[in-house]
Amino acid sequence: MRWLNALLNSFSSSKEPKTNAPKEEPHPFKNQEETLKRYDRYVNENGDPVGMCQSMTNVYAKLRLQGEDTGQYLGDDRKFLQASIDEENEELDAELQGDEDTIHHAFNKQQVPHEHVKMPVREFSKEKLETMLKDSEHFIISYPTNQTLNTHQSKPDTLPDKKISHAVYFGKLEKHLDDCVTFDANHGEQKAPCGELIRMFVEKVRNEASDGDIQIGMAKV
* CATH code of the domain containing 68: 3.90.70
Provide the domain count of the chain: 1
Look at residue 12 and tell me if it is in a domain: no
> What are the distances in angstroms from CA 127 to CA 21, 131, 133, 138, 211?
55, 6, 10, 17, 20
Contacts of 197 (CB under 8 A, 6+ apart): 180, 181, 182, 190, 191
Long-range contacts formed by 25-30: CB under 8 A, 24+ apart: 26/75, 26/76, 26/77, 26/78, 26/79, 27/76, 27/77, 27/78, 28/74, 28/75, 28/76, 28/77, 29/73, 29/74, 29/75, 29/76, 29/77, 29/80, 29/81, 29/188, 30/77, 30/188
Look at residue 78 and tell me if it is in a domain: yes
Task: Please give the biggest Cα pair distance in the chain.
Answer: 59
Look at residue 4 and tell me if it is in a domain: no
Domain that holds residue 177: 27-97+104-219
Look at residue 63 and tell me if it is in a domain: yes
Look at residue 7 and tell me if it is in a domain: no
pLDDT at 155: 42
- Report the half-sphere exposure of 195 (CA within 13 A, side-chain side): 1
As a whole number of angstroms, the distance between CA 169 and CA 151 comes to: 27
| CA 21 distance to own-chain centroid | 34
- List, for the chain, all residue ranges whose pLDDT scores fall below the cut of 50: 1-21, 151-160
Look at residue 122 and tell me if it is in a domain: yes
pLDDT at 148: 67
CA angle at residue 72 from 64 to 176, to 5 degrees? Answer: 35
Look at residue 20 and tell me if it is in a domain: no
pLDDT at 200: 97
Look at residue 8 and tell me if it is in a domain: no
As a whole number of angstroms, the distance between CA 95 and CA 112 comes to: 19
Phi-psi region of 111 (alpha: psi -120 to 50; beta: other; left: phi over 0): left
